[in-house]
């Protein structure tokens, strides 16, 4: 039976709420895990955010996000690396189970060149992550984001990248919305034993309600969520399952209504 033990609330699912409002809603609804976004930490500041989560008894399943490594010039790439080091510091402060890496698009048309920049970027932040005890999670994004968010678009590709490092230092984040279409998904999950650093859930309904805001509540779409969860369990992942839904209609609802719907759908579909 599915219960709420592994349920994590990704902050963007209630985008109108502050981190404090999200955290307090977690407490009201019996949720023990949360996943904040970096730009929302700025609202209360890092130390205060960290204190809020501690006071609510919440653990941080992931911090969203580092990455965005490719850039046209060496100086810009160095700025991205510096920003990733700051993200690692923040993840360490929050004791996040992983720092999600959304790897970034190509600065021009050279997608393979950008993929090489991603590998170089991860290598450049490895030591800092290790020193701070932060695990990096490479998240392959849906190919519809290849031009503006991530040149890493399949689980196989993310795994090949992660395998250059120690799985305790670099893993992969499997987001159902991003990978469900892939004919190589289930072989990929089997191959990912030891590397899975996160599992994010939502659903794909058509027509899509948007692109960035194209996600639906679990059960409202075509994704075989339980099949995916079972495969990920069989691959040995025991961590949190994050509900991460960007959806304008959902965002317009009261925070408690969002939590109720997310919990009900999670229990029914995962």
Q: Which residues bind a copy of itself (CB under 8 A)?
A: 105-106, 108-111, 115, 142-144, 146-148, 153-154, 156-157, 180-183, 204-208, 211, 221-224
As measured in angstroms, the least distance from the Cβ of 18 to a copy of itself is 28
Q: State how far Cα 231 lies from the chain centre.
A: 18
Element at 242 (helix H, strand E)? strand 241-243
Rounded distance, CA 45 to CA 29, Å? Answer: 25
123 versus 211: smaller Cβ distance to a copy of itself: 211
Cβ distance to a copy of itself smaller for residue 51 or 181: 181
Phi/psi for 204 (5° steps) reads -115, 105
CA dist 174 and 244 (Å) reads: 12
Q: Which residue, 104 or 239, is less far from a copy of itself as judged by CB? A: 104
The CA-based angle 243-246-249, given to 5 degrees, is 110
Nearer to a copy of itself, 55 or 148 (CB): 148
Pick the closer one to a copy of itself by CB: 33 or 145: 145
Minimum CB separation of residue 267 from a copy of itself in Å reads 18
Length of the chain: 270
Minimum CB distance to a copy of itself, residue 162 (Å) = 14
Please say whether the beta carbons of 99 and 130 come within 8 A: no
**Burial category of 205 from C-beta neighbours within 10 Å (exposed 0-12, middle 13-18, buried 19 and up):** middle
CB of 247 to a copy of itself, least distance (A): 16
Q: Are 232 and 174 in contact (CB under 8 A)?
A: yes
Contact 197, 181 (CB under 8 A): no
Which of 59, 213 has the CB closer to a copy of itself? 213
As measured in angstroms, the least distance from the Cβ of 221 to a copy of itself is 7
Q: Considering beta carbons, is residue 133 or 210 the nearer one to a copy of itself?
A: 210
Q: Minimum distance from CB of 112 to a copy of itself (Å)? A: 8
Q: CB under 8 Å to 151, separation ≥6 — which residues? A: 70, 103, 104, 105, 106, 111, 114, 115, 118
Which of 71, 171, 66 is closest to 117 using CA atoms? Answer: 71
Decide if 17 contacts 25 (C-beta within 8 A). yes
Instruction: For the CB of residue 161, give the shortest distance to a copy of itself in the complex, in Å.
Output: 10
């Amino acid at each position: 039976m599915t219960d709420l033990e592994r349920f994590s609330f990704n902050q963007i699912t209630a985008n109108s709420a502050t981190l404090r409002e999200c955290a307090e809603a977690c407490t009201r609804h019996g949720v023990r895990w949360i996943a904040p976004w970096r730009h929302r930490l700025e609202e209360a500041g890092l130390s205060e955010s960290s204190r809020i989560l501690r006071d609510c008894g919440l653990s941080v399943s992931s911090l969203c996000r580092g990455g965005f490594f490719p850039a046209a010039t060496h100086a810009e790439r160095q700025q991205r690396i510096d920003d990733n080091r700051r993200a690692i510091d923040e993840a360490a402060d929050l004791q996040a189970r992983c720092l999600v890496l959304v790897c970034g698009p190509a600065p021009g048309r050279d997608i393979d060149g950008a993929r090489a920049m991603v590998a170089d970027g991860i290598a450049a932040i490895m030591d800092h992550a290790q020193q701070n005890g932060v695990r990096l999670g490479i998240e392959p994004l849906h190919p519809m984001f290849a031009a503006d968010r991530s040149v890493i678009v399949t689980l196989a590709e993310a795994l090949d990248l992660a395998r250059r490092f120690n799985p305790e230092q670099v893993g992969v984040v499997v987001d159902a919305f991003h990978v469900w279409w892939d004919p190589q998904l289930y072989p990929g999950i089997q191959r990912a034993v030891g590397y899975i650093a996160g599992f994010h859930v939502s659903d794909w309904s058509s027509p899509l309600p948007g692109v960035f805001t194209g996600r639906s509540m679990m059960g409202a779409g075509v994704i075989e969520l339980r099949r995916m969860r079972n495969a990920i369990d069989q691959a040995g992942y025991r961590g949190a399952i994050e509900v991460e839904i960007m959806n304008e209609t959902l965002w317009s609802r009261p925070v408690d209504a969002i939590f109720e719907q997310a919990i009900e759908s999670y229990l029914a579909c995962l």
